[in-house]
Amino acid sequence: MNILKRALWISFASILLLTTTMVWHILAVTKPHANVHHANIQLARIDFATELDAHEAGSIRSAVNALPGVRHARINDARTNLVYSYDRALQDQRRVFVVVKELSPTPCERLVVTAEAAARGCPAMVQGGMDGLGGWISGLMN
């Protein structure tokens, strides 16, 4: 009888722990988010001619993050470019570039995507179909 009682307590504790974890996860994942029209969100990049020092890179990133309409601003590890996302209804890429140019003596330029590059789609995607695991899964489905 003692073994049965112990097994029941362990089972009850496990079920309680798993249920608590599941409830916490559901609450954490389903938090209400601001109603944002994602069609207005745009990525932009500013390239620097030389590597920025850490202090200058931090001040530029902070200044761009503080601009209205800018959501995220990041400077890459080599500190040679700034990538940021912004709401086109609230901010303009040229205005952000002017702010960055005023903050840094390092020469910089905006990355402007050509119409041809935009027509090809995302540069991160492999052109010409699926390879590797994606092709194998596609083959299973078809």
* 42-54 confidence digits (pLDDT tens): 888 888 888 888 8
For 33-83, the pLDDT digits (tens) are 666 667 788 888 888 888 888 888 888 899 999 999 888 899 888 888 889
Q: Does residue 107 share a domain with residue 46?
A: yes
How many separate domains does the chain show? 2
pTM over 0.85: no
Is 107 inside a domain boundary? yes
Q: What one-character DSSP code corresponds to residue 126?
A: P
Residue 44: both structure tokens together: 């932009």
Q: Does residue 114 share a domain with residue 57?
A: yes
Nearest Cα to Cα of residue 64 among 88, 107, 100: 100
CA angle 62–70–110, rounded 5-degree value: 85
Name the residue range of residue 134's domain. 2-34+130-141
